Each structure stands twice: as C-alpha cells, then as structure tokens.
C-alpha cells in the first residue's frame, strides 16, 4: 500500500478510528497486527523474514545484557550483526557479487562457478535491518536495557509508518514511545495535517512531475541531447528524489503523529546546505547519523590522526553507497561524497577566509556550489551505468545549446520548483520546520489552498512508486 493510494488511507482510517478508544496494551496489539498486515500487502512471504530478524535480535539483545564477561557480550553482538548482515547480504547483494566474481573468473580463463538466483528484494529490508542492529549495539554499549515484551519489540521493528522507507529510528527514541502510555495532544492535529499535506505535495506534485523528465533524459542516446538538457535532467532528478523521499518521511511523521508517536526529522532543507558536511546534516539524517555513530566513530572518527580521519570518511561513505544498492553506480556515488567530504575537511584546514561565513554573498555562493556538487553525485546515482554517467558528464560543458525541450523543462521548473524553493527558503529563514502550523490563519489558508489545487489539478499523469522502496 502506497501512502498516496486510496487503499492506504482506507486502512489508516480503520486503524485510527479504533486506536484511541483502546488501552495502551491493546493499542500496541492493534499497531503490531496492522503493521504486519501493511507489510504483508507488499508480499506476505516476507513476513517470516521480518519476524525472524525480530526474534534474533530480541533474544540476542537479552543475552548481550545478561552476559557476565565482555568476551561473551562481544560474541552475542557479533552473532546479531552477522545474522542481520547475512540476511541483508543474501537478498540484496548475492547476485551482484556472484555476477562480478563470475566475470572475474571468466576474464582469467576459469568457467563460471557461482549460480545467479531469482531473488526478490524484500521491501524495507535495509531500513528495518539497521534499526534492529542499532538495538543490539546500543545494549552492548549500555545505552539502553533490553525491552521486556517481545510484542513491544516487534512493534518497534515493524511500526508501519516508517517500516519500508524510514526514518531509521533509534531504540532510545522509539522504544520508550512504544512502551510508555501515549496521550493525545492538541498540536497533533495541525502538525500531523501539515506533515501529511506537505509530504503528499512533495511526492505527487514535485517528485511525480519531475519523473517523466528524468526518465526521458536518461532513456535517450547521449548524442540526441544537448548538454543543457542533460544538466536540467540531472536537476530534475535532484528534486524528484528529494520530493519522493522527503515526502515519504513527512507523511510517515504525520500519520505517526496522529497515533501519538514523534518520529525523528529526516530532512532539513538539504539543498540549502553550504558544505558537504552540512548537506549530510540535512539529507537522510537518520541514515547519515547511523553511519556516523555505528561506523565512522567506531572506525576511529577523527581521533587517530588526519590521514586516518580522511580514510574513515571515505570508507563510511563507500558503505553508505553500498547500502543504497548492489550496483557500481551507487558505490561510486558514495565514494564521490566521501571524497568531497575529505577535500572540504582538508580545505578548511589549509585555508582561512576573509569573508565571514555569515555573509549573505558567501552563503549564496556556497549554496550554489554545493547544489552543483550534489547534482553531480545524483548523476551517478541515477545513471543506468557508470559509462552513461561519464558520457553525460562529458557532454554537459561542451554543448549548452538552448533547445525547445530545454525551454520546456525550465518552464516546468518555474511552475513547480520555484514556489517550492521559495517556500523552503522562508522556512529556512525562520529556522523552524514546523513554522507553518504556528502561523496565522491567513498564511495557513493560502498554503493549504495552493497545495490542494496542485494536488487535484496538476498531478503527474502517471503515479510512480517511492524511489527508496528499492533500497
């Protein structure tokens, strides 16, 4: 069930109308049943998989906590991590690595040895796997105690608003909200309504209207496109993936809010970032902070010298790219971001600026440059293969001819993207992501009227599945 489908809202209406009439214990039972039903609607075969992952970490979490020696704790933690990564690795990466190894064997004269399998990637597996792994690691670090109820832990893993595409919640944030009684608050109505409407706007109006442009550009022979058309196609994908993923996260937070849960913010106006590190404090925050806390810092962070800190950055972003998918394009995308993070870190150490970072000109120039860097990365992320990405990249600076198609794309940007950027700039200036529900009636009326008009009259002719479902 998609958040932008009638079937989902029928399902959610049924859950919501019953939910607040129940006791806390029965609320959790309803949410667990609803979450498994929600996941089973994608493919019921994988219900056993999520149940298995849940069971493994629930029982190993207890063993980690009860173990008397650090050696035993490490054994149980390793067992948890190994089990999770083995499941994730098989479903997500087996065919990729078997194909690459077979190609390597053939290149040196050895016949193909590893079979390729017809494996279906379970939706959301990367998200809930990281969520269960963080639970075991947090117990090992003595940051939390194991949860007593298996049912409550299963709900923590499978909570349907954020199950298939995040945000990836930490056990220290979400488990207390599961275990403790939830109370309805007045601000839930307006806050949830805003998050849901804004999320639907980002998905249906922005992302889905950018998708046809992106699909057309990346399906063409490079020789038939001008460099400007390619560049605009990359910009279109930048807003498609932002609208798609930020839209999902906003809707997830909104529907969770109406159930008394406060999910973490996953996006903070990422295209207003002024540096690579600033971008990753704004984009997919739940994942970037996960890699920071569970990969970068354990590798040594910046505590083991400058050379090691640069290596740690690149390794962390390499793994982030691999997390997104079993393809060299994702790996290269991660390495590009790791390289830019490393270069920016080195640049700041070598040079000092006469311009204040608070200067408006400095900030605008930084935002412009950073958007180009991020868009460069998106080119590799979206391309069918590395060859296409490099060919597209070589064409951009050589042929910036203004074609009728390019003018058409710019017109579409003016209609859809310019209002979005203007609104988010206003929110950025206010330094409050929830400023609109706190604004006056006039501002709210204008916002909701505008969003409703675009949702009703300017949706994409073709609905598109959320991009991050494939990860």
* Residues assigned a catalytic role: 324
In eight-state DSSP terms, residue 120 is: P
Is 192 within 8 Å of 255 (Cβ atoms)? Answer: yes
Is 179 exposed, middle or buried (CB count within 10 Å of its CB: 0-12, 13-18, 19+)? middle
Say if residue 422 is preceded by a cis peptide, omega within 30 of 0: no
The tokens of 318 are what? Answer: 């390499």
Q: Report d(CA 468, CA 147) in Å as an integer.
A: 29
Q: Report d(CA 191, CA 188) in Å as an integer.
A: 5
- Alpha-helical runs (H) found in 220-327: 227-257, 276-280, 285-291, 306-324
In eight-state DSSP terms, residue 226 is: -
- How many CB atoms within 10 Å of residue 319? 16
**Three-state secondary-structure class, residue 263:** coil
**Dihedral angle at the C-alpha atoms of 403, 404, 406, 408, nearest 10 degrees?**
170
Buried b (16+ CB within 10 A) or exposed e, 403-427: eebbeebeebbeebbeebbeebeeb
Is 191 within 8 Å of 239 (Cβ atoms)? Answer: no
């Amino acid at each position: 069930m998609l958040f932008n489908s009638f079937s989902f809202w029928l399902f959610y209406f049924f859950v919501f109308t019953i939910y607040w009439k129940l006791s806390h214990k029965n609320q959790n039972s309803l949410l667990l049943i609803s979450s498994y039903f929600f996941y089973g609607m994608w493919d019921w075969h994988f219900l056993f998989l999520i149940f298995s992952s849940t069971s493994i970490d629930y029982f190993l979490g207890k063993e980690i906590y009860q173990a008397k020696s650090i050696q035993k704790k490490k054994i149980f933690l390793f067992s948890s991590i190994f089990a999770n990564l083995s499941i994730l690795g098989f479903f997500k990466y087996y065919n990729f690595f078997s194909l690459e190894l077979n190609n390597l064997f053939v290149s040196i004269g050895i016949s193909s040895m590893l079979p390729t399998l017809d494996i279906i990637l379970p939706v959301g597996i990367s998200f809930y796997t990281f969520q269960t792994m963080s639970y075991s690691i947090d117990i090992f670090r003595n940051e939390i105690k194991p949860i007593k109820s298996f049912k409550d832990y299963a709900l923590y893993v499978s909570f349907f608003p954020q199950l298939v595409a995040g945000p990836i919640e930490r056990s220290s944030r979400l488990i207390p909200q599961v275990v403790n009684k939830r109370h309805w608050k007045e601000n839930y109505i307006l806050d949830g309504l805003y998050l849901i409407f804004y999320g639907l706007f980002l998905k249906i109006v922005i992302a889905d209207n950018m998708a046809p442009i992106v699909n057309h550009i990346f399906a063409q022979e490079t020789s038939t496109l001008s460099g400007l058309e390619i560049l605009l196609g990359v910009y279109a994908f930048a807003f498609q993936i932002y609208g798609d993923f930020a839209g999902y996260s906003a809707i997830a937070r909104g529907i969770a809010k109406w159930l008394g849960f406060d999910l973490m913010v996953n996006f903070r106006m990422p295209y207003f970032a002024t540096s690579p590190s600033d971008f990753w404090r704004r984009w997919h925050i739940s994942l970037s902070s996960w890699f920071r806390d569970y990969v970068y810092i354990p590798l040594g962070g910046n505590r083991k010298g400058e050379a090691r800190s640069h290596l740690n950055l690149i390794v962390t972003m390499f793994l982030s790219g691999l997390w997104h998918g079993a393809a060299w394009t994702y790996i290269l995308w991660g390495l590009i971001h790791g390289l830019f993070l490393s270069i920016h870190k080195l640049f700041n150490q070598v040079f000092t600026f006469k311009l204040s970072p608070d200067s408006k000109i400095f900030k605008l120039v930084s935002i412009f440059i950073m958007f180009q860097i991020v868009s460069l990365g998106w080119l590799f992320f979206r391309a069918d293969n590395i060859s296409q990405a490099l060919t597209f990249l070589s064409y951009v600076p050589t042929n910036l001819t203004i074609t009728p198609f390019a003018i058409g794309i710019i017109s579409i940007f003016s209609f859809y993207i310019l209002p979005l950027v203007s609104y988010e700039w206003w929110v950025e200036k206010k330094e409050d992501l929830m400023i609109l529900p706190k604004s006056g009636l006039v501002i709210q009326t204008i916002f909701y009227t505008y969003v409703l008009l675009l949702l009703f009259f300017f949706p994409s002719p073709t609905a598109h599945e959320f991009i991050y479902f494939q990860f």
